[in-house]
Amino acid sequence: MGADSASPRHGETDASGAEVLGNIVWHALTRDQAAFASGDGAARRFAIGFSPLLGFADPHNPDFDAIAPRCAAGERFYCLHWQGPSPPGWHIEDDGRICLLVCDEPGGNCHDPELEPLTAVHVPQAMALAERTRPGPFGPRTIELGEYVGIFDAGRLVAMAGERMRAGRYREISGVCTDPAFRGKGLARRLVAHLQARQRARGEVSFLHVMRDNAGARRLYAALGYRVHLETQVRVVVRR
């Protein structure tokens, strides 16, 4: 794959779908989830407490000066697509490759009786599970962005997944994680299958992000009907 390789799916005949998915953070923050955004001009971020993601009108030439006043010193953010040098006032803490996958063959069960909705009461457990498993950017208010569900063992949250970004008919599944002591039991598969079935019933197209080198997760998602739509750069940047 090239720097940002993509191919249209789902019978798209125009560039709209590819354009939305090609800059999904920006489209989410300026469209369906603008109420959760902070910033103006050519730069946006999810408000404090939500997932620490930055979105730019031109993601390959991000306007960090525009978003800097909305970011505190020491805050860490995830930024897609950009490959340039570190801008003044910012530090690149991590750098990698990530794949955006789109579900071509949605299926699954909407009515898994063991899955429980996550609410504000569950935030401490959700944050603790995210800290143990590192599923990607996750904040204490992330579960407000969509439907989040979990699996509990004796009252303890041991697996979860939910809906984060939304732009048009595209709906992201995110925060997929399982406590190490409960892996190998198919919990992540059940969670993702439940969410994508719910999304399909609403006429939405499921997508998700996974690090390129996470072979286990990619096998799971392939078995659930996901295919690589694009591969791109992901960076963790810190405001000095």
In a 13 Å sphere around the CA of 197, the CA atoms on its Cβ side amount to 13
User: Which residue range(s) make up the domain with 77?
Assistant: 15-99
Clarify whether residues 153 and 80 are in a common domain. no
Instruction: Identify the CA nearest to 158 among candidates 215, 95, 115.
Output: 115
Residue-level pLDDT, tens digit, the chain, 240 residues: 444 654 434 333 333 689 999 999 999 999 999 999 999 999 999 999 999 999 999 999 999 999 999 999 999 999 999 999 999 999 999 999 999 999 987 666 677 889 999 999 999 999 999 999 999 999 999 999 999 999 999 999 999 999 999 999 999 999 999 999 999 999 999 999 999 999 999 999 999 999 999 999 999 999 999 999 999 999 999 999
212, amino acid identity: R
Domain co-membership, 107 together with 93: no
Phi, psi of 233 (to 5 degrees): -85, 145
* 68 lies in the same domain as 105: no
pLDDT of res. 10? 39
Based on the domain organization, do 105 and 70 belong to the same domain? no
First to last CA, the chain: 33
User: How many structural domains are present in the chain?
Assistant: 2
Residue 105: per-residue pLDDT? 76
- For residue 7, what pLDDT is reported? 40
Report pLDDT for 107.
63
Whether residue 180 is contained in a domain is answered as: yes
Measured CA distances, 99 to 20, 54, 210 (Å): 15, 17, 5
Domain with residue 149: its CATH number is: 3.40.630.30
Residue recorded with tokens 């000066």 = 65
**Claim to verify: residue 110 and residue 213 sit in the same structural domain:** yes
Q: Token digits for 30?
A: 């300026």
Q: Tell me the CA distances in angstroms from 196 to 33, 119, 171, one per residue in order.
A: 19, 20, 9
- Regarding pTM above 0.85, the answer is yes
User: Helical H runs in the chain?
Assistant: 16-22, 24-30, 64-67, 123-133, 187-201, 215-223
Distance set, CA 86 to CA 28, 43, 58, 149 (Å): 25, 17, 16, 37
DSSP category for residue 217: H
Q: Same domain, yes or no, for 68 and 159? A: no
